[in-house]
Amino acid sequence: MNTNKDKNVTFSKVLLIVTGLIFVAVGIFVGYIYTSGKIDNGYDTAALITLITVSGTIFASCLCWYSKKSASENHYKLRMSLYKESADIRYDFNKRMVELMKENDLTQEDIDEIESKGDCDEFMTDALTNTVTELDTLRDISESENQIEQV
């Protein structure tokens, strides 16, 4: 189901589409000039090639910028979904423990004893820490690639 949030058009998307359309239009224009025979009438081929190169470079720069922006947004979204899912798992665990307490007339001491024998909190913390470390590593790799491209 599409919501308004899915249809949000950002400046980076508009810029990417506009520069892409300009690049395609320039390519069509240059193709038309070459195939129509007007190149013999004094058009400079160097100017046409430069036109393609400049518009292509601008489009490629916008494409690179958009992909880096999307990658950084995806890292953030992955991290937030990870925290939400881990909170949901812990909530479900606590809900189930309350149901067990009611069904079996358990006291809080019994629940504490059960939890001390199980490593749910430790397991969740380890899983969260490992995943966050992996996301940080991916982010660092992405940032280092971006720095290399800027050199």
Per residue in 15-64, pLDDT (tens digit) is: 999 999 999 999 898 888 877 776 665 556 777 788 889 999 999 999 98
> Is the CB of residue 62 less than 8 Å from the CB of residue 10?
no
pLDDT score of 5: 55
Flag whether 66 is in a domain. yes
Flag whether 124 is in a domain. yes
> Is the CB of residue 139 less than 8 Å from the CB of residue 83?
no
> Is the CB of residue 19 less than 8 Å from the CB of residue 40?
no
Flag whether 2 is in a domain. no
Overall domain count for the chain: 1
More confident residue, 129 or 51: 51
pLDDT score of 84: 79
Flag whether 138 is in a domain. yes
Flag whether 60 is in a domain. yes
More confident residue, 3 or 72: 72
pTM above 0.85, yes or no: no
Domain carrying residue 78? 11-150
Flag whether 1 is in a domain. no
Nearest Cα to Cα of residue 20 among 72, 64, 74: 64
- Condensed to tens digits (0 to 9), the pLDDT of residues 83-124 reads 777 778 778 877 887 787 788 877 778 777 777 776 666 666
Flag whether 24 is in a domain. yes
Flag whether 3 is in a domain. no
> Average pLDDT in the 64-83 region?
79
CA 99 to CA 106: how far, in whole Å?
Answer: 10
